Structure 1
């Protein structure tokens, strides 16, 4: 097994992606995290490519769900898009690719597990999409996004509240209690490896709790538990849960 500072070649990633790069240096740059660039003064980090890839991804996903769901309204489409391109979703797809072993990380970031951090995986995947767009054009980037995200978009299309439990809980809480949920957050562990815990209260009652590797993840987990609990109560009381 590779040590933290042994990185797989970018050409292997290109083969996994099924994309030919006329300028392989673009893909190489997409894999350069700022920590590596800092330790290697000649290297440019992938942040500009990430910026570009974020826009490409949003456009392709929007186009896909717009044409796949002609009956859906803007609000529902926005939820599907948001769920598809959120950090956790991108990180999951990146893990399926094994992207972590290709990312150029500085020594400290590599040793602290940076190759498996959601934020780094998600940002690098966006940078790869940006590099694909610059090298092969929009059609090539579109095809790659379509292949990488097809299963994810199909899964999200069948969900309801699960697209965004925080929003769904807010809607349910406002409808039933005329007030919004309140979250309490705590964290443990060192700065490079924190675990966050969230508790959510509605009308002064603790109705959900959860943990995660980010504040957002912990809040979503707590919101999921709270929504399911309050929705079950609403059904038992003869009311409809807000969808």
Structure 2
């Protein structure tokens, strides 16, 4: 994916390697039906382990190229799903980047002005005292989403 920025690739990685994604793929492939567990039930963690084992077996049997082809094929729908999302949750995406890349969480500061029936909110996101995004909106949530979107654009351009 050479056309994606580093920030976009980081978000894509978090979607693709997330536990829900891998266990869902393993479930779609019905890997649980091949596991001999006795009285134990099939958990998402077991499904993830089974998928990783299948990928490892393909690698050992067919080499890197076949393993890569398999992984890209099973992940293609998840990658497409990520690529075509229209209603972005910028705040959640930014939180993922902060946790993975910076081992931190974004800090939001909210201010408001205007009469109670017509308030306007302003959000600022900072890290180590440096402002990385600002936004505004008719609600706190809208202002935070706007600020997170600006911060994501900044990360994508770096």
TM-score, length basis structure 2? 0.60
**Where in structure 2 are there 5+ consecutive unaligned residues?**
99-104, 110-122, 128-138, 150-158
Alpha-carbon contact 1:129-1:141 (below 8 Å) kept: yes
Residue 119 of structure 2 is matched in structure 1 by none
**Where in structure 1 are there 5+ consecutive unaligned residues?**
1-65, 180-228
Residue 161 of structure 1 is matched in structure 2 by 89
Q: Distance in 2 between matches of 1:165 and 1:98?
A: 33
RMSD of aligned Cα (Å): 3.0
Residue 89 of structure 1 is matched in structure 2 by 21
Q: Distance in 2 between matches of 1:178 and 1:74?
A: 20
Residue 126 of structure 1 is matched in structure 2 by 52
**1:121 Cα deviation after fit:** 0.6
**Measured at CA, do residues 230 and 142 of structure 1 come closer, stay the same or move farther in structure 2, by a change above 3 Å?**
farther
**1:177 Cα deviation after fit:** 6.3
**1:158 Cα deviation after fit:** 2.9
Aligned residues: 117
**Measured at CA, do residues 177 and 146 of structure 1 come closer, stay the same or move farther in structure 2, by a change above 3 Å?**
closer
Structure 1 or 2: more strand by fraction: 2
Q: Distance in 2 between matches of 1:83 and 1:142?
A: 18
Q: Distance in 1 between matches of 2:82 and 2:96?
A: 16
SS of residue paired to 1:104: coil
Q: Distance in 2 between matches of 1:242 and 1:177?
A: 7
**1:91 Cα deviation after fit:** 0.4
Residue 108 of structure 2 is matched in structure 1 by 173
Q: Distance in 2 between matches of 1:178 and 1:98?
A: 44
